[in-house]
Structure 1
Amino acid sequence: MKALIKRAGNKPISDSELSKYLDETLSRFTAGKKVQKILIVPPDFTRFYSMSGKITSMLYAKLKDSCTVNILPALGTHMPMTEKELNDMFEGIPHDRFFVHDWKNDVVKIGEVPKEFVNEVSEGLVNEKMDVEVNKMFLDKTYDLIISVGQVVPHEVVGMANYTKNIVVGIGGNNMINKSHMLGAFYGMERMMGRDHSPVRKVFDYAQEKYLSSFPLFYILTVTTQNGPSADIHALYAGNGRDAFEAGVKDSLEKNFTFLDEEPEKMVVYLDEREFKTTWVGNKAIYRTRMAIAEGGELIILAPEVKRFGEDDENDRLIRKYGYIGRENILKKVDENDDLKNNLSVAAHIIHGSSDGKFNISYAVRHMTKEEIEKANFKYLDYDETVKKYDPKKLKDGFNYVNGEKIFYISNPALGLWSSRKKFEEQ
Structure 2
Amino acid sequence: MGCQTIGGAGCTIGPEELDGFLSEQLAGLDVDGRSVALVIPDDTRSCPLPRLLRIVHRSLVGRVRELVCVIALGTHEYMGPARIAEWTTGDPGADLAEAFPGMEIVNHEWRDPSALVRVGRIGDERMAELSGGRLSEGSDVLVNRRVAEADVKLVIGPVLPHEVVGMSGGNKYFIPGVAQEGFISRTHWVGALITSSHIIGAPAVTPVRAMIDEGAAMVPGERYCIAFVVRSHTTELESVSIGTPEDAWHAQARIGARTHVEYVDEPMPTVLSLIPDRYHDIWTAAKGFYKTEPAVAAGGEVIVYAPHITEVSQVHAEIYEIGYHCRDYFVKQWDRFKQVPWGVLAHSTHLRGLGSYDPRTGVEADRVRVSLATGIPREVCESINLGYYDPATIDPGEWAGRDGVTVVPDAGEVLYRLHSGGIDGADGPFPVTSGRPV
TM over 0.5: yes
> For 1:352, what is the secondary structure of its paired residue?
helix
Counterpart residue type for residue 215 of structure 1? G
Q: What's the counterpart of residue 153 of structure 2?
A: 146
**Does 2:293 match 1:290?**
yes
Tell me what 2:360 maps to.
Answer: none
- In the other structure, the counterpart of 1:193 is 200
- Structure with more helix by fraction: 1
Aligned partners of 1:93 and 1:113: how far apart in 2? 42
> Partner residue of 2:167?
160
What is the one-letter code of the residue matched to 1:226? S
Q: Which of 222, 230, 233 is 2:228 aligned to?
A: 222
- Give a deviation string over 1:90-147, Cα, whole Å, max 9, x none: 116616822121223221111122221221233322111132211011222xx34321
Match of 1:380 among 388, 400, 403: 388
1:11-410 map, 5 Å? 11-30=11-30, 33-47=31-45, 49-67=46-64, 68-91=66-89, 94=96, 97-104=104-111, 105=113, 106-140=115-149, 143-195=150-202, 196-209=204-217, 211-212=218-219, 214-227=220-233, 230-273=234-277, 275-312=278-315, 315=316, 317-337=317-337, 339-340=339-340, 343-355=341-353, 356=355, 357-365=366-374, 367-386=375-394, 388=395, 390-391=396-397, 401-402=400-401, 404-410=402-408
CA contact under 8 A between 1:224 and 1:415: conserved in structure 2? no
1:290 aligned partner, one-letter code: E
Q: CA deviation at 1:165?
A: 1.1
Output one character per residue of 1:373-399: Cα deviation in whole Å (capped at 9) or x when no partner.
22111111122321x2x13xx8xxxxx
Instruction: State the distance in 1 between where 2:368 and 2:71 align.
Output: 35
CA shift, 1:62, in A, is: 3.7
After superposition, the Cα gap between the structure-2 partners of 1:335 and 1:123, relative to the gap in structure 1 and judged at 3 Å, is same
Distance 1:94 1:65 in 2: 17
Q: 2 CA distance for matches of 1:59 and 1:295?
A: 47
- Figure out how many residues of one structure are paired with residues of the other and give that number: 401
Q: Secondary structure at the match of 1:46?
A: coil
Amino acid of the structure 2 residue aligned with 1:253: A
CA RMSD of aligned residues (A): 2.2
1:266 alignment partner, SS class:
strand
Letter in structure 2 aligned against 1:90: T
Q: Secondary structure at the match of 2:137?
A: coil
TM-score, normalising length from structure 1?
0.87
Runs of at least 5 residues in structure 2 that lack an aligned partner in the other structure: 98-102, 356-365, 430-438
Paired-residue identity, %: 23
How far apart are residue 412 of structure 1 and its match? Answer: 2.6
Determine if contact 1:152/1:161 at 8 Å carries over to the other structure: yes
Aligned equivalents of 1:12, 1:93: Cα separation in 2: 31
* Cα distance in structure 1, aligned partners of 2:95 and 2:223: 22
Relative to structure 1, is the Cα distance of residues 148 and 93 closer, same or farther in structure 2, using a 3 angstrom cutoff?
Answer: farther
Query: Could you give the per-residue CA deviations for residues 174-199 of structure 1, whole angstroms, max 9, x where no partner exists?
Result: 22111111111112323322222211
TM-score normalised to the size of structure 2?
A: 0.85
Which sections of structure 1, spanning at least 5 residues, go unmatched? 395-399
Shift of 1:334: 4.2
